[in-house]
Structure 1
Amino acid sequence: MKKLTLIVVAVLISFITYAQQSIQVEKRGNGPAVLFLPGFTCPGEIWDETVDALGSNFQYHQVSYAGFNGIDPIDMPWYETIKRDLKEYITKQKPGKAIIIGHSMGGMLAMDIAAESPELVEKLILVDALPCIRQLMMPHVKADDITYDNPYNQRMLAMNEEEFHQNARYMASSMTNQSEKVDQLTAWIEAADRKTYTYGYTDLLKVDLREEIAGITAETLILAADFPTKEAVSENLNNQFAKLNHKEIKIAEGSKHFIMFDQKDWLIKQVTAFLQ
């Protein structure tokens, strides 16, 4: 019985869930802290295969966001609240300077935190993330012109379940080449709180870090998918990351947005080499 109790305690110590207003964090392992930030609608578990491949050399902090994967939603502004709580979490954990690995929106948060509080971040790995997605999607629109109450958001909130399912499946299938992953991505989108899904993305469209990234002191690895073409991606990356110092850019061939699915071995190889 005593031996069983010790085993249970050891498991609890190695795998702890932390909950704050806008984030939940699953922590495991020992060593230098690595914070994994997922993209929009995705839970922290999307990084499970990457964490398993990296082994036992680090302490892993896998973050999930309010409004997604069954976590209670929060009021708007959503993005700024998450950023604030992440900074508070890193400070309270006192891991020294953290390593942050962020995909898509997670990469935006990583850049934002590293620019505002460079003393908190040692290294950054940005996986198919940009300082300003608005520039890519609607280059002539200003942040101040984007509001929560707009026709697109109204249509999104008014969709019935079947309409939203079809929209989610279309989005999921456009972001990975791995057909077996589409169902999971679709399910994560459908599990999202509808207002968080709608208004949270509005928050992301307003973020522009192209100037702020000049304040990042952390060594940064940028990993990008070559979709739609390597040439177009390279040009966009060079433009958006022009102000970022200490950066290295690598492009995954034959990949869409979810590089951890489409080029998993390549991603792990790049991350492992950079962390060593």
Structure 2
Amino acid sequence: MISHLKARLAATAVTLMIVLHPGASHAQAASGTAQASVETTMPRISVRTVGPVQKVAKGTPVILIPGLSSPRAVWDGVVPTLAKTHQVYVVQVNGFGGDDPRANLSPGILDGIVADLHTLITQSKLGKPAIVGHSMGGLVALMLAKTHPDVVGKLMIVDSLPYIGEIFAPGATVAALEPQAKAMRAGMAAAYGKPANVAANEALAARMALKPASRTTVADWAAKADARVSAQAMYEDLTTDLRPAMASIAAPITLVYPWNTVGPTKPAADALYRKAYATAPHVTFVDIGDAAHFVMLDQPVAFQAALDDFLRP
């Protein structure tokens, strides 16, 4: 098992770096005179708040969490529409998007993000907001629901697993993956301060998105995150296993996952995600075809429809 797992990891390590390593760009504020944008910086994250200027009836507050190394621009396609009726809190991890790493040059990034989100929710008196997380952001959303169930309304998890080791080998454990996770962390961190490998970024983006425009965007992002923060956050992602906690997460979960003809195909994707979330008490599965990991870029209309359904009272 261990030797087989090492072989799988060696074959997929570079791919994983881009799964967890799109880079950075600043999201644009939602357009229109009826909306306002304010940005707040915390130890582990910054949060851009966008929503109606006037105190009018609006939907549940929504927090959007991008994946590892991803900029908040991942959500640019949905923020303007959401911000017409919701107060939207668009997260970016410090060190991504060209931001100052701040506290994220120290370990404890994922726990720190959870702590900052808890502070945001309680200090801003958001009640129980809807949380949307992509990739590593989905893992963070699950961590928040596990640790602070009193501040979470419902979750939309976008192409994320309770334990990412499952993509390497069914039943993989943290102990089995940790040596490889450490090696990958060292390799990624060593890229800090060096010129981006454009060809490699383009090749890796091709694995994470299907549409040409999506691939161009992801490749552009891939070079821009602080490699030191990406490396540590990836290590923490690889060594965080929430499978034992899934049965205790009471918040309703909408699990959005992609499939395509190259892979994963629909039968393979169905099997993977339904097994991973089998013990969670309240899960709605939403599959989006002709899409890869960056489903919101590949299929923006279908993703917006899934988000609208998720937020409907």
TM over 0.5: yes
- Whole-angstrom distance in 2 between the partners of 1:196 and 1:169: 21
> 2:188: which partner in 1?
156
- Whole-angstrom distance in 1 between the partners of 2:181 and 2:65: 28
1:25 aligned onto 2:47: yes
**Per-residue deviation at 1:68?**
0.6
1:97 aligned onto 2:97: no
Distance 1:117-1:153 versus aligned 2 partners, 3 A rule: closer
- The alignment's TM-score, normalised by the length of structure 2, stands at 0.78
**Per-residue deviation at 1:179?**
1.4
- Aligned with 1:122: secondary structure? coil
**Per-residue deviation at 1:161?**
4.0
Match of 1:22, as an amino acid? R
Contact 1:16 1:26 in 2 (8 A): yes
- 1:165 pairs with one of 198, 208, 218: 198
> 1:271: which partner in 2?
307
RMSD over aligned Cα atoms: 2.4
- Where do 1:7-26 residues align within 5 Å? 14-26=36-48
**Per-residue deviation at 1:261?**
1.0
**Per-residue deviation at 1:186?**
2.2
Match of 1:152, as an amino acid? M
Distance 1:140-1:240 versus aligned 2 partners, 3 A rule: closer
Match of 1:247, as an amino acid? V
- Whole-angstrom distance in 2 between the partners of 1:258 and 1:162: 25
The structure carrying a bigger helix percent of its residues is: 1
- 1:209 pairs with one of 242, 246, 249: 242
**Per-residue deviation at 1:17?**
0.2
Match of 1:153, as an amino acid? R
Alignment: residue pair count: 267
Instruction: For structure 1, list consecutive stretches of 5 or more residues without a partner in the other structure.
Output: 1-9
- Whole-angstrom distance in 1 between the partners of 2:77 and 2:160: 19
1:87 aligned onto 2:118: yes
> 2:226: which partner in 1?
193
Instruction: For structure 2, list consecutive stretches of 5 or more residues without a partner in the other structure.
Output: 1-31, 53-57
- Whole-angstrom distance in 1 between the partners of 2:80 and 2:197: 33
Contact 1:29 1:56 in 2 (8 A): yes
Contact 1:112 1:213 in 2 (8 A): no
Distance 1:70-1:141 versus aligned 2 partners, 3 A rule: same
Name the % identity. Answer: 27
- Whole-angstrom distance in 2 between the partners of 1:149 and 1:259: 26
Contact 2:210 2:291 in 1 (8 A): yes
1:250 aligned onto 2:290: no
- Whole-angstrom distance in 2 between the partners of 1:249 and 1:140: 22
- Aligned with 1:86: secondary structure? helix
Residue range with higher mean Cα deviation, 40-49 or 250-259? 40-49
Contact 1:148 1:199 in 2 (8 A): no
**Per-residue deviation at 1:69?**
0.9
- Whole-angstrom distance in 2 between the partners of 1:64 and 1:268: 20
- Whole-angstrom distance in 2 between the partners of 1:13 and 1:263: 26
Displaced runs of 4 or more, over 6 A: 10-13
Contact 2:292 2:298 in 1 (8 A): yes
Match of 2:135, as an amino acid? S
Distance 1:192-1:138 versus aligned 2 partners, 3 A rule: farther
- 2:96 pairs with one of 49, 68, 91: 68
1:39 aligned onto 2:71: no
Contact 2:258 2:292 in 1 (8 A): yes
> 1:175: which partner in 2?
208
**Per-residue deviation at 1:122?**
1.0
Match of 1:131, as an amino acid? P
Contact 2:247 2:281 in 1 (8 A): yes
CA offsets 1:55-105 (integer angstroms, 9 cap, x no match): 511100000001111112221122221122112211211111110011111
- Aligned with 1:184: secondary structure? helix
1:184 aligned onto 2:217: yes
Match of 2:287, as an amino acid? I
- Whole-angstrom distance in 2 between the partners of 1:144 and 1:232: 26
Distance 1:118-1:154 versus aligned 2 partners, 3 A rule: closer
Match of 1:185, as an amino acid? V
- Whole-angstrom distance in 2 between the partners of 1:163 and 1:11: 39
